[in-house]
Structure 1
Amino acid sequence: MAPERIRARYLIETPLDPAAVAEVMAGEQSCGTFTRVEGETDALRERARATVEAITELAPAETPSLPNALLERKGTRGPWRRALVDISFPAANIGANLPTLAATVSGNLYDLGEVTGLRLESLQLPAAYRTQFEMPRVGIAGTRRTTGVASGALVGTIIKPNVGLSASETAELVARLCAAGVDFIKDDEVCADPAHAPLAERVPAVMAVVRAHQERTGKHVMVAFNITDETDAMKRHADLVEREGGSCVMASLNWCGHSGMQTLRRHTGLALHGHRNGYGALSRHPLLGISFQAYQTLWRLAGVDHMHVHGLQGKFSQPDSEVIESARDCFTPLTDAADDRVMPAFSSGQWAGTVPATWAAIGSDDLLFMAGGGILAHPDGAAAGVTSIRQAWSAARAGTALEEAARSAPELARALAFFGKP
């Protein structure tokens, strides 16, 4: 049986021969360096060296995408050739080690002196290798079971104001949101354990109203408490949420790190809501960083249950095509060995008017549709905001234009009049 290999695809830009650069990349991220060294035998290279699997040259660029002091010192000039490079890495080099996997497929590649641009575009894993890592404990099906939402998108919102509310004020807002009919509520990424509303006070206060709502209605509203912190503190925070009857915690993935999220996943059975804030620094430049497909692959190995993808026609910089592709990545199992899909979370400027574009692009109810202002700023109140989104979702599924649906849906009509045309 052939040894297992992990395959990565890169987009590179270089004034040099892309094939030569690809060999440098393979050597740098496996057993090589800029020159052959003592002990680097042919047998060792055969066993441990990364392999260039394919090179597809693309149209060149007129100017370099990024500065490169080494090439500038050498006086190297264009044309600036671009290519897709596929490299496979022996899984045995890495083992079941998520931080080292990330270091192997990314790492020093971004600093190579041969390139003026490099981006990790995709990552494919062998099925047996994937099984060595964490799986989602809750995932799409578990999130539906917990919230009691058998069909339709889960309608959620975000605590606003982002920061400043006390624990009791936060609980009062959560009580109103529960009564308004939301399925999911999350903290903002900048509100974790602040002095004005520490988790030790906020979690019991919020969960008291969530439990009271569940006792009255039978409906459990999933609240994603932001427990972003150092690892031991996150474990303590998760334990508190679990003791209080909570079902979900949120963490800022990029700042907690792969190891922190793995530890948290192994510690708790709560749903892990993965917030990607900071991802723009890794992705906005088309010739630098990491695509969402590769990014979410690494975080899914840490066992997250939900992944943020931003929203269609939203307030952030991503084009709709990237949001759509990101959601489809979440819906795609990493291998054929198991169902490890995660629930995409749509947010950023979402309201009833962005529902049709979301349904048309995704064609699935298996998502969190989170609206902050779209619910809390509705002129008739939060309950009307939630209703307007559900009305828009029903209309989109039925193929009915929002303006037509609004004739018999006053909450939707008010949303369209207040927020403007979609």
Structure 2
Amino acid sequence: MTSKRFEATYEIESPVGLERAAAVIAGEQSTGTFVRLASETDDLRARSAARVEEIRVTRISAHPSLPCRKTGESYERGIVRLSWPMDNIGPSLPNLMATIAGNLFELAETSAIRLIDLVLPESFARAMPGPAHGIAGTRALMGVPEGPMIGTIIKPSIGLSVEDTASLVGTLAQARVDFIKDDELQANGPGNPLEDRARAVMDVLNRDADATGKKVMYAFNITGEIDEMARQVELLERLGATCAMISLNWVGLSGIRFLRERTALPIHGHRNGWGLMSRSPDIGMSYTVQQKIWRMAGADHLHVNGLDNKFTEPDEVVMEAARAVQSELPGTKRTALPVFSSGQTVWQMGPSAAFLGNQDFLYCAGGGIMSHPGGPGAGVTSLRQSADAARAGIPVEDYAKDHPQLAEALKAFR
């Protein structure tokens, strides 16, 4: 691929064969339509048409994987890689997505289609804002120079008052947690308005920082309309907050980029809704593609699920996602911070670090902290001890013999 083109790779199934399906997609997503136009000259096609770079059949099925208007005697499935000239779109994330993930998902020539990889020229990535803080900047703001960053989530997700939330935050701050976040369901409703919540929470955290010299990072959920989010980040900055959270899928790429260019706060990206685009093997988009797009728009932290989690993803997919988030964007040194969550306890800490090959991650545990027999403080301590064991290469059960908080956690969460 030259620096003047970008590529997308798909897993496709087709009733008309992969070669025909690839040609239809290339036409639909660039210069073509259902008939050849007089204005679609050879020169225009040479300048602007998508190009089929690779076709590889992997299997043939007797039945379609998805409902499809066209039918065939058999259904070829395999890998199709396409490329487009950068001149078609320029450095634009929304128009990139319209090209690689637009009408092609609806074409009758496909009975399955999934976007699995995206390769962009360095010039494209350099033109994007990207993460402002990523791993190193987040460590600096949290005051955690090494080891995993330990975080938790306000629970119950919904129903706490402003006063209840601030009280819980005080308890968690006293437990010496590094990071706390709103649940994605806790927005700006009248039961717990964001402005009131932010003032109460930051009053607690600012006083705690004055006493300890270390400010707990709190990710306030500001997901909303553009003007609303602009007002909210300005409020957070005035209050001394150090993080803003958004629901990436519902704010959209332009919303993420707007915030990145509007605020110096780290953007904590929650991926709720990811399963809609990622869960099916027959349609949608892999998370490795999604995270790359979100990072270029400006997300600093990205959720990747967790090992042995409550959701549907297997462990190998979780770790592939975490490694992808930590990878450098093309032509830049910009990485982002992977966030492990979903049923995480002391048991998954060591394997997470081992799979990833480092401890540059945010480890969010709800019950793994709050339900520790010794209380939240012991819960946080047990997670740090588990990380210490992993860093020292000592089996967690052996390390627990001299670390009672860890021993209690291992027993409680077995």
TM range (shorter): over 0.9
After TM superposition, the structure 1 = structure 2 runs for residues 266-305 of structure 1, keeping only pairs within 5 Å, are 266-305=261-300
One-letter code aligned to 1:342: A
After TM superposition, the structure 1 = structure 2 runs for residues 128-207 of structure 1, keeping only pairs within 5 Å, are 128-207=123-202
Indicate whether 1:410 and 2:412 are aligned: no
Indicate whether 1:374 and 2:368 are aligned: yes
Measured after TM superposition, the shift of residue 96 of structure 1 is: 2.1
Q: Deviations over 1:150-206 (max 9, x none)?
A: 100000000111011111211111111111011111110000112111011000100
Name the residue aligned to 1:343.
337
Indicate whether 1:395 and 2:367 are aligned: no
Name the residue aligned to 1:9.
9
Q: Deviations over 1:245-297 (max 9, x none)?
A: 01100000111111111111111110000100000010111111000111111
Match of residue 241, structure 1, among 236, 239, 243? 236
User: CA 1:181 to 1:100, structure 2 compared with 1: closer, same or farther past 3 Å?
Assistant: same
Runs of 4+ in 1 over 4 A off after TM superposition: none
Name the residue aligned to 1:79.
74
Measured after TM superposition, the shift of residue 3 of structure 1 is: 6.5
Q: Is the 8 A contact 1:249 1:271 kept in 2?
A: yes
One-letter code aligned to 1:360: A
> What is the SS of the residue equivalent to 1:345?
strand
Q: Deviations over 1:11-32 (max 9, x none)?
A: 0011222111111111111111
> What is the SS of the residue equivalent to 2:305?
coil
Name the residue aligned to 1:47.
47
Name the residue aligned to 1:332.
327
> What is the SS of the residue equivalent to 1:134?
coil
> What is the SS of the residue equivalent to 2:237?
helix
One-letter code aligned to 1:16: V
One-letter code aligned to 1:158: I
Measured after TM superposition, the shift of residue 387 of structure 1 is: 0.7
How much is the aligned-residue C-alpha RMSD, in angstroms? 1.2
> What is the SS of the residue equivalent to 1:212?
helix
Name the residue aligned to 2:348.
354
> What is the SS of the residue equivalent to 2:139?
helix
Name the residue aligned to 1:250.
245
Match of residue 113, structure 2, among 98, 118, 121? 118
- Identify the range of structure 1 (31-40 vs 366-375) with the bigger mean alpha-carbon deviation: 31-40
After TM superposition, the structure 1 = structure 2 runs for residues 254-265 of structure 1, keeping only pairs within 5 Å, are 254-265=249-260
Between Structure 1 and Structure 2, how many residues are aligned?
Answer: 414
Name the residue aligned to 2:19.
19
Q: Is the 8 A contact 1:125 1:334 kept in 2?
A: no
Measured after TM superposition, the shift of residue 2 of structure 1 is: 6.3
One-letter code aligned to 2:335: R
User: CA 1:414 to 1:2, structure 2 compared with 1: closer, same or farther past 3 Å?
Assistant: closer
One-letter code aligned to 1:56: R
> What is the SS of the residue equivalent to 1:359?
helix
Q: Deviations over 1:20-64 (max 9, x none)?
A: 111111111111112211211111111110111111110223432
| Aligned equivalents of 1:322, 1:78: Cα separation in 2 | 34
Q: Deviations over 1:77-125 (max 9, x none)?
A: 3422111111011111111221111111101111010011000000011
Measured after TM superposition, the shift of residue 334 of structure 1 is: 2.2
Q: Is the 8 A contact 1:310 1:346 kept in 2?
A: yes
Name the residue aligned to 1:32.
32
Q: Is the 8 A contact 2:3 2:123 kept in 1?
A: no
| Aligned equivalents of 1:151, 1:373: Cα separation in 2 | 24
Name the residue aligned to 1:57.
57
| Aligned equivalents of 1:414, 1:129: Cα separation in 2 | 50
> What is the SS of the residue equivalent to 2:151?
strand
| Aligned equivalents of 2:217, 2:63: Cα separation in 1 | 50
Consecutive unaligned residues in structure 1, runs of 5 or more:
none
Percent identity of paired positions between Structure 1 and Structure 2 = 48
> What is the SS of the residue equivalent to 1:136?
coil
> What is the SS of the residue equivalent to 1:309?
strand
Q: Is the 8 A contact 1:307 1:342 kept in 2?
A: yes
| Aligned equivalents of 1:402, 1:133: Cα separation in 2 | 42
| Aligned equivalents of 2:375, 2:143: Cα separation in 1 | 24
Q: Is the 8 A contact 2:180 2:216 kept in 1?
A: yes
User: CA 1:254 to 1:2, structure 2 compared with 1: closer, same or farther past 3 Å?
Assistant: closer
One-letter code aligned to 1:309: V
Q: Normalized against structure 2, the TM-score is what?
A: 0.98
One-letter code aligned to 1:122: D
One-letter code aligned to 1:294: V
User: CA 1:2 to 1:115, structure 2 compared with 1: closer, same or farther past 3 Å?
Assistant: closer
One-letter code aligned to 1:67: P
Name the residue aligned to 2:377.
383
Consecutive unaligned residues in structure 2, runs of 5 or more:
none
Measured after TM superposition, the shift of residue 304 of structure 1 is: 0.7
Measured after TM superposition, the shift of residue 309 of structure 1 is: 0.3
